[in-house]
Amino acid sequence: MPKNKTHSGTKKRFRVTGSGKLMREQAGHRHLAEHKSSRRKRRLSADLAVSRADQKEVGRLLGKR
């Protein structure tokens, strides 16, 4: 049987931690940062876990679940 390929767009946006959690970056941190406060940019820089509703789909696209 042929192997399934990992979805290229998904592998650029999500990562899997050592414990198996799916992590994502927050929107609004890439550009137009000059008018945003340092506090806001710092909080946007933190990664978040993928919501439970999306975990199954993201995991499938990554080929992990």
Return d(Cα 63, Cα 59) in angstroms, integer.
Answer: 6
Give the pLDDT of residue 49.
97
Q: Where are the alpha helices (DSSP H) in 14-62?
A: 38-44, 52-62
pLDDT in tens, the chain (65 residues): 888 899 999 999 999 999 999 999 999 999 999 999 999 999 999 999 999 999 999 999 999 86
pLDDT at residue number 65: 64
For residue 6, the number of C-alpha atoms closer than 13 Å in the C-beta half-sphere is 13
Q: Alpha carbon of 5 to those of 26, 61, 64: distances in Å? A: 26, 9, 11
Specify the CATH number of the domain 8-62.
Answer: 4.10.410.60
CA angle 58–65–4, rounded 5-degree value:
85
